[in-house]
Amino acid sequence: MIPEKVSNSQFKRSVCCLLAVLMCTLLCTVHVFAEAGEQTEVHMGQTIKVGLKYGSTAVSRFTVGCDGGFCVANYSSNGNMPVLQTVSATELEIAVNGGEVSVKDIATGDTVLSGMTTENMILPLFYNEGYSISIDGTMYHGGVMFTPSGSDKINIINAVNIDQYVCGVLPSEIGSSSPMETIKAQAVAARSYALVSALEGGNHASYGFDVCPSTHCQVYRGLKSESEACNRAASETAGQCIYYEGKPVMAYYAKNSGGYTQNVEDVWSSRLGYLRAVPDPYCQPYLWEKTYSFSELESRLAADGKNVGTLTKVEITGLADNGNVKEITFTGTEGSASYSKYTIRSFFGSSDVKSNLFRFNGAVKYVDVGEDGSIPVRETETPEDAAAKGVLMLKELFMLGANGSSGQIKADEVYVIGAGGEAKKVYADSGVGIYAVNAAGDKYLINDTGTIAKPNGDAGSSDYMTITTVEGSLNETSGSLRIVGLGYGHGIGMQQDGAIAMGKLGWSYDQILKYYYTGIEIR
């Protein structure tokens, strides 16, 4: 899941071309492996560079394995890469010492490559035939590259075809048991996120790669996490990305909006046309709360270089149109300090204050609204009222045979049969339309668009939307601060909990994406 996605962090690059300077030649003891598998070019297609280990997790050595031997290719982002040489080992150790990178055959102890540069990639010799490699024991598609980190560490980078990358993301990000259309929506969003990171330089350009494998970008676990359902979703959407005004876009997504997604400028900085706030009744309420004493908040403020003296009041001083908190102000005996947008969660810790939709001493509130802001259809309304609002009225009902023949069914004789064999009359008890009834006895109204709406519950659709929100105080002076909120994550773009609910309601992947991203095209 992606509870968090912080905008570009500026990481200072400490060493830029150490290896490039050290290694101008790529050569040494190289054994030509197998005539049959020898290839002059690797065809990887659009590639994504994933930083597996970098910065504080950079390593001084790592191992790479492949049963069929290796080759070294010159990296190119379009994926057509000339093979520079072949190596007949099955397990290599790549180590850096005093700024020098060496590649050894573990079986023989021989140095098989020296002069590797940051532009070179080690791949399975039979890459084009579908072989994959292991990096420190974990299987990955594609190949491995590295960039220097200081003089004695290297960042490990897995360069991989974008569709294979998506296969390694889906199981962790959305799960193999989600509805197929939901997994496909996630596949297109994940692919767009990665593609734009590669094209425009994402959060990690200074380390020489496009995306990291954690929730900061997208969780990626390589080949070992892959599943049949997720691979099918990736292949059925292969190559598809999200476009806005003709350009592929960064498809930010999060776990649970809490009831209303966010305008991107209310959380980060610039306005983007495709990242607009939309009502989100599809996310099941995700409630959280956290309590802080004023003295604890004073210490946090002091640690952040903001000394306000003895804290006397905490206030919500800015709200977005959809009720999300945009600014919070701490007032003390010696001054005040404010935090706005995403820095509010950074101040508290974003796994404690899980979203920006919160109030002090709050409680959950349910608000029914129509898609166009109209009053929703209720079970108690008359058939005329319901018809005026577009609910399918049961006037005539036919059953169609396989050959197209039909027989009319009387309107007051419609039943659903439950899994336990019990029959429930679905029309007569309300008189406003056709209901489907689930195992728990909840009634879902079938509306005139053919979608299903729950009249008074959580998962709504076009006629019904129950927005969950929080009600509570905007300021606190009592000496302790109890924060109650809804949702998990930044609330921008697709919400995974909502996308799963939509998939269960029969939405297609492009309907899901077009609901959460405004004015987009998928191609």
Residues of this chain that interact with Zn ion (CB under 5 A) are 203, 212, 216-217
Measured from the CB atom, the residue of 216 and 514 that comes closer to Zn ion is 216
Please, which residue, 216 or 424, has the CB nearer to Zn ion?
A: 216
Q: Between residues 197 and 322, which has the closer beta carbon with respect to Zn ion?
A: 197
Which among 382, 400, 403 has a CA at the least distance from the CA of 391? 382
Give the three-class secondary structure for 344.
Answer: helix
Which residue number, 77 or 215, has a Cβ lying nearer to Zn ion?
215
Q: Where does 370-464 show beta strands of DSSP type E?
A: 397-400, 406-409, 415-417, 423-425, 434-437, 443-446, 452-453
Q: In what order do the strands lie in the sheet with 120-124?
A: 41-43, 80-87, 70-74, 120-124, 143-149, 153-161, 47-53
Nearest approach, Cβ of 8 to Zn ion (angstroms)?
10
- Least Cβ distance, residue 291 to Zn ion (angstroms): 31
Cβ 157 to Zn ion shortest distance, Å: 13
Helix (H) or strand (E) holding 498: helix 496-504
**Nearest distance from residue 516's CB to Zn ion, in Å?**
21
2/314 with CB nearer Zn ion: 2
Shortest CB 203 distance to Zn ion, Å: 5
d(CA 362, CA 359): 5
Closer of 66 and 492 to Zn ion (Cβ): 492
Tokens of 472: 């509570």
Degrees, nearest 5: CA angle 450-455-456:
155
In the three-class reduction of DSSP (H, G, I as helix; E, B as strand; rest coil), residue 167 is classed as helix
Which element (helix H / strand E) includes 85? strand 80-87
C-beta of 497: minimal distance to Zn ion in Å? 22
CB of 426 to Zn ion, least distance (A): 49
For residue 133, CA distances in Å to 43, 69, 294, 351, 440 come to 16, 10, 53, 35, 49
Residue 49 or 141 having the CB closest to Zn ion: 49
Which C-beta is closer to Zn ion: that of 162 or that of 217? 217
Question: Which is nearer to Zn ion, 54 or 444 (by Cβ)?
Answer: 54
Three-class HEC string of 202-250? CCCHHHCCCECCCCCCCCCCHHHHCCHHHHHHHHHCCCCCEEECCEECC
Total residue count of the chain as it appears in this document? 523
The least distance separating Zn ion from the CB of residue 217, rounded to whole angstroms, comes to 3
Q: Give me the least distance between CB of 214 and Zn ion, in Å please.
A: 6
DSSP 275-325: ----B-TTSPP-EEEEEEEHHHHHHHHHHTT---SSEEEEEEEEE-TTS-E
